Chain A
Amino acid sequence: MANLAQMELRDLQSAATSHRGDRVFSRTVAGAAFTSLAVLAGIAIFLGLQAIPAFQTQGWAFLTTTGWDINTTPPTVGIFGMLYGSVLLAVIGLVIAVPASLLLAVFMVFLSPPRLAKVLTNLIDLMAAIPSVILGLWAFYILNPTAEEWQVLLNKYLGWIPIFENTSGNFLGTPFIAGFVLAIMMIPIITAVTREVLSRTPPDLINASEALGCSLWTMLRYVALPYGRGGIVGGVMLGLGRALGETIAVFFVLKIVFETNWDKVIESGGGSVATLIVSRFGEVSGPLELQLLLAAGFFLFIMTLVVNVIANLIVSRTGRLQK
């Protein structure tokens, strides 16, 4: 046997594992530990099975066209506009949330007095804790009129840029408002991760850069941001995953239309897979339509899973690099 002092706790534990009760215990715990895998596989299999009939009747058109007509035989249904809409909303959200979160984190870590930074941290945590249904309620009554005013102004002065066109004169239920709400959900996530990463920049590096005459900007540009890049990208992807799956808050502020809204961000009407599911579920016409919704849910699941897995890989890899 090896030197006793060098024995790891694990060896000690396995030395004590001749007991039958222990083997039962280990197996039970290991079984429970794989619940998460079982659930993920269950979701993929059961929703995937439901997606098969949808594919049989629709073919690839289910993914490449946009429409929701249940009354024809077979129904002509495609969710491309919804999938694209989810991405468009998330991109609008990111355009607002990423600069805001980075600046907020820089302010908290490098600029503000520590006491103010603590207050801000608590406020951002509170922001992360707001349930999405409450955010939806607020957006519907408080944000909508204000955002309508912003969009009218945007259209008036910048309407010559194609994305700010609005031909209907209706500025409610637009991708812009929904994206803004998503930004409010993403800001706490991205800020928390970025702040954590920036505050871990080794003080020696910061001191050294100051000694070399770096200003705040050059320090950020050449020391802090490159050091935390992986973590920041991972945080952004985590926010993106959250935004793609968001349902209820978007439900109240986006008018779902079954046409692909490519780039008209302040034109009423857009798409979102998650919101489509909830909005159609209330008036679902029969098992066939339910199956189509489950198929849509399957693709939403795959989309968010991919984003989250990539995000977690990036975050955990930078965590290792820093150690």
Chain B
Amino acid sequence: MSTITFDPETLESLQQQKSTRPWRKKPNRFTASVTLAVVIPALIVSALYLTSDIPVPILLVVIYLPLQLIASGIAAWATKGTRGIADSVIIVNAIGASLFSVIVLVSIIGSLIVRGLRAVSPHFLFQNSVYISPSTPLDYGGIGHSLVGTLLIVFIASLISVPIGIATAVYITEVRGRAVPYVRFFVQAMSGVPSVVAGLFILTIVVATGAFNQSAFAGGLAYAILMLPTVARTAEEVLKLVPDDLRTGALALGSTRARTVLRVVIPAARTGIITAIILGVARVIGETAPLLLAAGNNDQTVVNPFGSPISSVPTYIFNNVALPYPDAVARAWGSALVLIILVAILFTLARIIGRGRVGR
């Protein structure tokens, strides 16, 4: 995922634009008509909701939205003339779309917290599922084995993809060979590989050939494919921020190119590179399909990365979602809560570190 920032200059000029129009005082008529346009449709729909038994979706889509559009249109026409009507349509729909997205997000996070907290307890984080069947009460068992598996797989994926990702970024920003546009193109194309295809690929070349079982190593390879583009692209952005003075300075002191990169440029971008790694980990940590194919499943705690199938948090959730036992489903919600908290921690870390002294 690429981090996108507001261009501060644009933002400022947009704000200025609003504040530098002192002649545009909002007349009372404007305030009054906007208030009426908001209140009247809401009142009508609330009254209908309380008195009739029209289903809520119909009430919202067939009655409230058109009413609100008409009311806003009239308000806009009263204050700005016919020109305002199209604006009012956009504004109503834009606010509607924003509310829709916020409601979806609140529903997801809220349900995770409400349903997930039932299962989460200290033993849920540390025990494994060896003696646990789907109907076992929540007093026993946990996702300790899956957490160990996820950590192991992510660690292996990082070991593989971080050096390659940084080297790719170094090639683009430091070596600046002739193939830079192609390398960038391939990295971007690679970021679009579906996760299930990455899993199938590793399954074909590692598991099906008999080189290794389904294991943390195979899972880590599949994760590495998904992680590499994120690490490479973020590291590229970060290395670009390192001032050229540092490079020329090192070269002028007689340092070789390799030493310039390894001893000056990369250390200067250290915090940014850590951010790149964290973003890469956050990108893959919830991926399920590649692990279903390449890492398999296990109820025991596995620490050997090569020998046997291994559990992970996403596959644990996957296996418990649709079981007809309330406690198994509660475990799925609990581990989903743990997973989203892990992702949130990683993103927060990346933001805090990234805000630091990158390339200064």
Given contacts A30-B177, A215-B87, contact A36 B168 (CB under 8 A): yes
Cβ of A5 < 8 Å from any Cβ of B?
no
Cβ of B248 < 8 Å from any Cβ of A?
yes
Shortest beta-carbon distance from B347 to chain A in Å: 6
Asked if B98 and A199 make an inter-chain contact with CB atoms under 8 angstroms apart, the answer reads no
Asked if B339 and A134 make an inter-chain contact with CB atoms under 8 angstroms apart, the answer reads yes
Asked if A281 and B251 make an inter-chain contact with CB atoms under 8 angstroms apart, the answer reads no
Binary per-residue interface labels of chain A (156-192) against chain B in the complex, 1 for a CB within 8 Å, 0 otherwise: 0100000000000000000000000000100100011
B residues less than 8 Å from A153 (CB atoms): 55, 57-58
Binary per-residue interface labels of chain B (199-215) against chain A in the complex, 1 for a CB within 8 Å, 0 otherwise: 01101110010000000
B residues less than 8 Å from A117 (CB atoms): 6
Q: How far is the CA of A301 from the CA of B258 in the complex (A)?
A: 37
Q: How far is the CA of A29 from the CA of B100 in the complex (A)?
A: 47
Asked if B289 and A199 make an inter-chain contact with CB atoms under 8 angstroms apart, the answer reads no
Q: How far is the CA of A42 from the CA of B340 in the complex (A)?
A: 33
Cβ of B288 < 8 Å from any Cβ of A?
yes
Residue A107 contacts which of B86, B98, B205 (CB distance < 8 angstroms)? B98
Asked if B164 and A32 make an inter-chain contact with CB atoms under 8 angstroms apart, the answer reads yes
Given contacts A184-B104, A215-B80, contact A16 B256 (CB under 8 A): yes
Give the contacts of A217-270 with B (CB-CB under 8 A).
217-218, 220, 238, 241-242, 244-248, 252
Binary per-residue interface labels of chain A (19-36) against chain B in the complex, 1 for a CB within 8 Å, 0 otherwise: 101101110111011111
Residues of A contacting B: mostly: helix
Q: Closest residue to A207 on the B side, CB-wise?
A: B17
Q: How far is the CA of A199 from the CA of B15 in the complex (A)?
A: 12
Given contacts A215-B84, A247-B195, A294-B200, contact A106 B90 (CB under 8 A): yes
Q: How far is the CA of A41 from the CA of B255 in the complex (A)?
A: 37
Cβ of B194 < 8 Å from any Cβ of A?
yes
Q: How far is the CA of A274 from the CA of B314 in the complex (A)?
A: 17
Cβ of B66 < 8 Å from any Cβ of A?
no
Stretch of B27-35, B106-114, B301-309 with 4 or more beta carbons under 8 angstroms from chain A: B106-114
Cβ of A123 < 8 Å from any Cβ of B?
yes
B residues less than 8 Å from A300 (CB atoms): 194, 196-197
Shortest beta-carbon distance from B69 to chain A in Å: 13
Q: How far is the CA of A43 from the CA of B190 in the complex (A)?
A: 10
Cβ of B7 < 8 Å from any Cβ of A?
yes
Give the contacts of B1-53 with A (CB-CB under 8 A).
1-4, 6-7, 10-11, 13-15, 17
Residues of B contacting A: mostly: helix
Asked if A99 and B97 make an inter-chain contact with CB atoms under 8 angstroms apart, the answer reads yes
Residue B57 contacts which of A101, A109, A134, A149 (CB distance < 8 angstroms)? A149
Residue B168 contacts which of A33, A110, A129, A293 (CB distance < 8 angstroms)? A33
* B residues adjacent to A (C-beta < 8 A): 1-4, 6-7, 10-11, 13-15, 17, 55, 57-58, 80, 83-84, 86-87, 89-91, 93-98, 100-102, 104-105, 107-109, 111-112, 115, 163-164, 167-168, 170-172, 174-177, 179, 182-183, 185-198, 200-201, 203-205, 208, 225, 228-229, 232, 244, 247-248, 251, 255-258, 260-261, 282, 285-289, 292-293, 314, 317-318, 321-322, 329, 332-333, 336, 339-340, 343-344, 347
| Top 10 closest pairs, chain A to chain B, by CB | A131-B286, A245-B194, A308-B192, A32-B167, A25-B258, A33-B171, A217-B86, A103-B97, A107-B94, A203-B13
Instruction: Given A16-B251, A36-B228, output 18 extra A-B contacts at Cβ < 8 Å.
Output: A9-B247, A13-B257, A16-B256, A19-B257, A29-B170, A33-B171, A37-B186, A39-B190, A131-B339, A133-B286, A137-B321, A140-B321, A191-B101, A210-B17, A215-B87, A217-B87, A281-B293, A301-B197
For this complex, 17 residue pairs linking A to B, each with C-beta atoms less than 8 Å apart, are: A36-B183, A39-B201, A42-B205, A101-B97, A104-B94, A107-B97, A125-B3, A130-B286, A132-B286, A137-B336, A199-B7, A210-B17, A216-B90, A217-B87, A294-B204, A297-B200, A305-B193
